[in-house]
Structure 1
């Protein structure tokens, strides 16, 4: 399995598709080569994706071939018009020939529409399947995957890379087929019209192609630099003009510096754009001379008896038309190597994610339970845990949370409190032992059933950029407005929402920034109340709040915890005092357990934490001493 995708270079997106003239140069992107070296792609695997569409592929290739051949009738029709119809004033023949010219154009256009529809539909179907499979596969990854992976990287693979693959399927692949058939058919037609002039074209065409590719390569270098500068500009816009970015700039006073950076980058783009437009102008001028020379040489050769072979004017006009038309498909074919590497790089990036082994494997035979029938008896049975095979964080944890009871876990930073809590909703899996609910290992429970059984309220609240109603309905899609208001009332935030002009339809803003931290927490609590889980995990849900706001949220939490099995990662004495049992962790081991009063009387680790809290005058917050550095507290 590859390392976390956080190590994968940013997917700036390889250039796709071949083309002729001044389009992309025949130069392989080094990032594509590096990607393929890191994660090779099996051609058999790619072929398997398109296996269900064999008939469509065959029809598309046939249509491309037919269109290329039919389109070659045009120069022969032109020759007949010039050599036969016009000189002899044959109106009937002229009408047939001109009508045939229109018919050929109409037929090739119709074939092109059908071919594009079939290819696009096939490509979209393949990409739809791949996109859905990738999304579902990524959802199955552990939180550790998303911790070490940049969010933009995941989004880029799901959107940019799959979109690029679709372009490869529907544009590049059909373009290669079209260029190949057009080149072969055009060359055959040129030989049929005039073998002698065809030899002259073979001599003149290579330097024209060479010059064109030199100009394209030069422009590509400037374009790459311009794209990097644009990417930096876009990143600054995305980061600097977000809610968090603007807040940071205003509080740190970086607005003038940010404006200066933006101005400098924008100015650089001006220069790069000028360079891009002016790059290779002398080569382009030379190329234009060559292009003008090609028909001139052909006309010259046609004027000498030794080389014209009795050529008619119609044949000459038809030949020069074919000679001009063959340049673009030849250029496209010369870029097949680049297109091929580009296509494989797209597939490699997607397959790299699809090949990630989920750390949280779905049960082969999931156990389905009715959340309403769950008592909520939670047990940790000799549980060990370590992140990615590193230093153990939990050691032999055995703990029982009786149904309907409240358990508080305290300890210094790095003692393993949050890690312990993450095992109940199966955000992580233990490496040894097991966690059960009503005797069933959480790893054997159906994922949807487990989400209904275990509710989580953490310090980091996440609200989607939608209305209050939509955020609440995430927990209970069928809830009525009355039920939503009841949940808000229980979470002590109904009055605040009711006072807003739009009420439940109020937009919460990006990541909930429309509301304060305490209001966001209470909205999250209301959402969990709607879920009505029998087991509740409170992971330092009030640690980032001031005392006044915390008191309001704590009332909501007490309302939420009533009658449920509750595991609280505690940092406030008030929470600890009301718990049925308090567990003290040190370096991933349980060193004390009992009621708050019993542990105070024992004079051990809990008593020391409480004493430091009292001395610090933190309003009841358990002061924590530095502990062993581990990935989670």
Structure 2
């Protein structure tokens, strides 16, 4: 796998650094604490030198006590400052993590429906939970580690030069070797980290898909449990291998650095011996001990700095995966000057609308001209794949049309503020989704401030109140994951109650009664007819018994409108609508609502 270009890496690093700009003041305070702590800690070697070279040889107990007390004060002061600095740096890191998680979640909320039809749910979860979670340690400690280690290295080197410049040069001979080894280790870890996060995403997707209620039902009915378990085992084993590789990447190279650091004091002692024999000025015992103490204090932060660099390179793989989501264009964007009307009459108009799904080989909708007048009911019918559902999605602005315009009360939908648009246009889709929460919480998802009486009224309109009231916990009943404690018809009625509670002026009903039995469908249809009084209603239907009383019926075929008119008018014409009626109903043409109907939900 080839790594990113240097320019890409520099761009990523700058982008990561920008994440900390919101906490500049706190970071400045942390940096000040680090600098003060580093400078104070440098006093210990000099105190030790004077203790060994002056106080002890001269048997000056007062000076020895003062120097020892100074070393104790230095230790206490640096410890206190480090505790304060650690807490502040953790606060900064968690603040950055919070903003990053929130930014990703908010951006994902703004992406169009098309993104979620192309992306595995587990993949999204993995990037938010695994990738951002794995970055936490780096974000929390990286900035402070760089400042702390960098300050300590510079201050220690200056102190070593002050003690003896010759020994300082000996200590720095191998620094370039350390840097080269650490950079290679970081590159290795970055590549392995990318593969590891991909395997974690695969595992998350597998768990989300196979261990949901739908996934378990499919697995058990198809007898694929053993095969899925084997697939999970392979993915888990690959992940375990990558974890081992990541942990051991460059371990021998790093160990060689440890060996070099361990033998450096011997090199310093040898260099001190040469200074004595060479007549260039003897090195005192105190200076030698103080220097080796400083040397240990130099290489620890230097290795920490290099290690942090390797961790940053490794973390860039995760940052890059998160930035990929943040960089995805928002296809359905909020307008710069949003339209916020005081009231909504509800005229929905499609003018020359065309649309094609990404990657599709043909247009889903072509040159659609349709007006849904305020307070009237328009039904859209057609064979599966004719574009009915897509038309409804465009009417709710879940997608943007490729050509043409869609207006509500004469204002293009892309100029409406999102809150006002969702309050004005409500959609009940054929894919009913309920939260793993109580019935009341599911209903209040549409309007959190709704009273109990309003919940009951909406449930009565959707013909579901009697069922809810018969349950032991009534509206506090937990619906289960995706509402699997209820039948398909019951879930659709709950979804209807939820949208009626929101009380939009425009209703888009996409197969809203497709899962109901004939008797319940008749009752719900009548309830919807009453609830739709004064509302603009666009009904997308495959079961033609639900649309016979519409003010206008629009017939679609292959993304185009081929007929329009009222029920009897279209039957008398004997065209596409008549063919649909004769092809889908088992009762005479014009049969009353509630007659037996055969048909499936449209999913175009």
Q: Same fold (TM over 0.5)?
A: yes
The Cα shift of 1:616 comes to 11
Summarize the alignment of residues 196-211 of structure 1 with structure 2, pairs less than 5 Å apart: 196-203=166-173
Matched-pair contact (CA < 8 Å) for 1:465–1:510: yes
For 1:499, which of 458, 465, 470 is the aligned residue? 470
**Corresponding residue of 1:67:** 37
Summarize the alignment of residues 247-286 of structure 1 with structure 2, pairs less than 5 Å apart: 247-263=217-233
Matched, 1:311 2:283: yes
For 2:350, which of 365, 380, 391 is the aligned residue? 380
In 2, the alpha carbon distance for the partners of 1:348 and 1:269 equals 20
In 2, the alpha carbon distance for the partners of 1:211 and 1:339 equals 14
Matched, 1:517 2:494: no
Change (3 A) 1:81 1:142: same
The Cα shift of 1:349 comes to 5.4
**Corresponding residue of 1:508:** 479
**Corresponding residue of 1:97:** 67
Task: State the secondary structure of the residue aligned to 2:550.
Answer: coil
In 1, the alpha carbon distance for the partners of 2:552 and 2:46 equals 94
The Cα shift of 1:572 comes to 0.9
**Corresponding residue of 1:173:** 143
Summarize the alignment of residues 115-126 of structure 1 with structure 2, pairs less than 5 Å apart: 115-122=85-92
The Cα shift of 1:133 comes to 5.1
The Cα shift of 1:236 comes to 4.1
Change (3 A) 1:250 1:615: same
Matched-pair contact (CA < 8 Å) for 1:362–1:443: yes
**Corresponding residue of 2:591:** none
Summarize the alignment of residues 600-615 of structure 1 with structure 2, pairs less than 5 Å apart: 600-614=571-585
Query: How big is each residue's C-alpha offset from its partner over 1:3-61, in whole Å with a ceiling of 9 and x where there is no partner?
Result: xxxxxxxxxxxxxxxxxxxxxxxxxx956559938x95695x77776666555554444
Deviates more, 1:534-543 or 1:58-67: 58-67
Change (3 A) 1:267 1:98: same
The Cα shift of 1:530 comes to 0.8
Q: Calculate the TM-score normalised by the size of structure 2.
A: 0.82
In 1, the alpha carbon distance for the partners of 2:380 and 2:532 equals 15
Matched-pair contact (CA < 8 Å) for 2:197–2:318: no
Matched, 1:579 2:550: yes
The Cα shift of 1:456 comes to 0.9
In 1, the alpha carbon distance for the partners of 2:133 and 2:234 equals 32
The Cα shift of 1:520 comes to 1.7
In 2, the alpha carbon distance for the partners of 1:222 and 1:382 equals 51
Task: State the secondary structure of the residue aligned to 1:577.
Answer: coil
Task: State the secondary structure of the residue aligned to 1:358.
Answer: coil
The Cα shift of 1:248 comes to 2.4
Query: How big is each residue's C-alpha offset from its partner over 1:312-351, in whole Å with a ceiling of 9 and x where there is no partner?
Result: 3333332222222322333344467656656776666566
Matched, 1:240 2:217: no
In 1, the alpha carbon distance for the partners of 2:155 and 2:137 equals 26
Matched, 1:320 2:292: yes
Change (3 A) 1:327 1:544: farther
Matched, 1:450 2:450: no
Task: State the secondary structure of the residue aligned to 1:456.
Answer: strand
**Corresponding residue of 1:482:** 453
**Corresponding residue of 2:592:** none
Matched-pair contact (CA < 8 Å) for 1:571–1:621: no
Deviates more, 1:446-455 or 1:543-552: 543-552
The Cα shift of 1:410 comes to 0.8
For 2:507, which of 536, 557, 570 is the aligned residue? 536
**Corresponding residue of 1:183:** 153
Matched, 1:570 2:541: yes
Summarize the alignment of residues 315-464 of structure 1 with structure 2, pairs less than 5 Å apart: 315-334=287-306, 353-371=325-343, 374-387=344-357, 391-464=362-435
Change (3 A) 1:482 1:35: farther
The Cα shift of 1:240 comes to 3.5
The Cα shift of 1:536 comes to 0.9
**Corresponding residue of 1:13:** none
In 2, the alpha carbon distance for the partners of 1:412 and 1:67 equals 75
Change (3 A) 1:369 1:91: same
In 1, the alpha carbon distance for the partners of 2:111 and 2:199 equals 33
The Cα shift of 1:612 comes to 1.6
Change (3 A) 1:623 1:332: closer
In 2, the alpha carbon distance for the partners of 1:396 and 1:270 equals 54
Change (3 A) 1:336 1:386: same
The Cα shift of 1:101 comes to 1.9
For 1:147, which of 117, 132, 151 is the aligned residue? 117
Matched, 1:527 2:504: no
Matched-pair contact (CA < 8 Å) for 1:397–1:589: yes
In 1, the alpha carbon distance for the partners of 2:541 and 2:228 equals 41
Matched-pair contact (CA < 8 Å) for 2:96–2:139: no
Count matched residues: 595
For 2:53, which of 83, 93, 108 is the aligned residue? 83
Matched-pair contact (CA < 8 Å) for 1:464–1:510: yes
The Cα shift of 1:544 comes to 5.1
Task: State the secondary structure of the residue aligned to 2:434.
Answer: coil
Q: Calculate the TM-score normalised by the size of structure 1.
A: 0.79
In 1, the alpha carbon distance for the partners of 2:376 and 2:545 equals 16
Matched-pair contact (CA < 8 Å) for 2:190–2:314: no
In 1, the alpha carbon distance for the partners of 2:528 and 2:301 equals 69
Ranges in structure 1 where 5+ consecutive residues have no aligned partner: 1-28, 626-631
Deviates more, 1:470-479 or 1:187-196: 187-196
In 1, the alpha carbon distance for the partners of 2:28 and 2:317 equals 25
For 1:620, which of 573, 597, 601 is the aligned residue? 597
In 1, the alpha carbon distance for the partners of 2:168 and 2:158 equals 10
Task: State the secondary structure of the residue aligned to 1:325.
Answer: helix
Matched-pair contact (CA < 8 Å) for 2:514–2:600: no
For 1:110, which of 70, 80, 85 is the aligned residue? 80
Query: How big is each residue's C-alpha offset from its partner over 1:91-123, in whole Å with a ceiling of 9 and x where there is no partner?
Result: 433332232223222322333344445555555
Matched-pair contact (CA < 8 Å) for 1:230–1:269: yes
Change (3 A) 1:332 1:549: farther
